[in-house]
Amino acid sequence: MSYPPPPDQSGQGGFQYDPYGNQPGSQPPSPQSGGYSPQQPQQPGYGPPQMPPPMAPGYGGMPQPQPTNGLGTAGMVVGIIGIVLAWCGIVGIVLGILAVSFGGVGVARANRGEATNKGMAVAGVVLGVITLVLASLVWVLWGLAGTATSTSF
């Protein structure tokens, strides 16, 4: 016996392919019966299964807006301005404190996943600390210079 068995040529037995999805042994609907009735269950069609529409941005879904880190960016900008103005004493100290504060909040938001550009926030913290050190050094040097000039006379 060969595998698969040869098709039955008589049309009286064996399996015959029905392109309309009828079960073997069932009779196709006749024109007198009016076709399929609404109560007759429909069989699923042939072919690949139907997939739900994709939701991921890489697969054609709508892209989600990326969260931004405005405080991290503000911390970096204030840190840069603070380094430039560190020689102004109290202005440099205030800008350094603001840069560290904004940068710290930006880093915390980036760690929680609420914001992006963590690098800018870290840069704001670092520049704020450098500004605080420079401004404090300028403040101390001004204080020493002021006492040195007042005691020399």
Would you give per-residue pLDDT tens digits along the chain (153 residues)? 556 655 555 555 555 555 666 555 556 555 555 555 555 555 556 666 666 655 555 555 566 666 677 889 999 999 999 999 988 878 999 999 999 999 999 999 999 888 888 999 999 999 999 999 999 898 888 888 877 776 655
The reply to whether 131 falls in a domain is: yes
The reply to whether 91 falls in a domain is: yes
Six token digits for residue 137: 């050094």
Sequence letter at residue 124: G
The reply to whether 138 falls in a domain is: yes
The reply to whether 11 falls in a domain is: no
**pLDDT, position 141:** 87
Question: 47-65 as b/e, with b when 16 or more CB fall inside 10 Å?
Answer: eeeeeeeeeeeeeeeeeee
**pLDDT, position 126:** 96
The reply to whether 63 falls in a domain is: no
Inter-residue contact 86 to 138 (CB < 8 Å): yes
The reply to whether 110 falls in a domain is: yes
Residue 108: give the domain boundaries.
Answer: 70-152
Task: Give the predicted TM-score (pTM) of the model.
Answer: 0.54
Q: In degrees rounded to 5, what are phi and psi of residue 71?
A: -70, -35
Peptide bond into 38 cis (omega under 30): no
